[in-house]
Structure 1
């Protein structure tokens, strides 16, 4: 696993990565199974999202806050703003509290 943007965030990153990877192993195989209906897939995805939030949500929030502080402390906010203006996303990103894949 790689280091985080800030050394102080690395333990949180490792904890989040481990939580996400453990959760994702249980999500991937059943989610792509050809033998389930779209309704079953939707229900499964909703259940797994709730499971993820319960298991990893707090860790994700702590890590995210740490990285946001590091971005600010390192003076990177203006660079990020410039990059977003130069290359805007085509689609809106998920809500900021949604965890990305590790």
Structure 2
């Protein structure tokens, strides 16, 4: 499995990845479970860890600035096609 974007999140990412791969191969691919509730809490933990790490590095601010700079493109490209 690949390392996390933030090394301090590697352990929680590994737990989530392991859970996800198990769910995907044992449930999703066999059609028995379309929503991964088994790993939801682990995913939330990983997201929280990443959020803290990205905030500490100032990356979230850069992402938000890029989104703001491109919001007109987002509206244009993500809008439903005109009929």
Q: Which category of TM-score, normalised to the shorter sequence, fits these structures?
A: 0.7 to 0.9
Give the alignment of 1:41-52 within 5 angstroms.
Answer: 47-49=33-35, 52=36
| Alignment CA distance shift 1:83-1:29 (3 Å) | farther
The structural deviation recorded for 1:5 is 1.7
Deviations 1:52-93 (A, max 9, x none): 21x2111111100000001100011221112223263727xx
Q: TM-score, normalised by structure 2?
A: 0.73
The structural deviation recorded for 1:28 is 2.2
Unaligned runs of 5+ in 2: none
Give the alignment of 1:58-73 within 5 angstroms.
Answer: 58-73=41-56
Q: TM-score, normalised by structure 1?
A: 0.61
How well do the aligned residues superpose, as a CA RMSD in angstroms?
2.1
> When the two structures are aligned, how many residues end up with a matched partner?
73
Report which of the two structures shows the higher radius of gyration computed on alpha carbons: 2
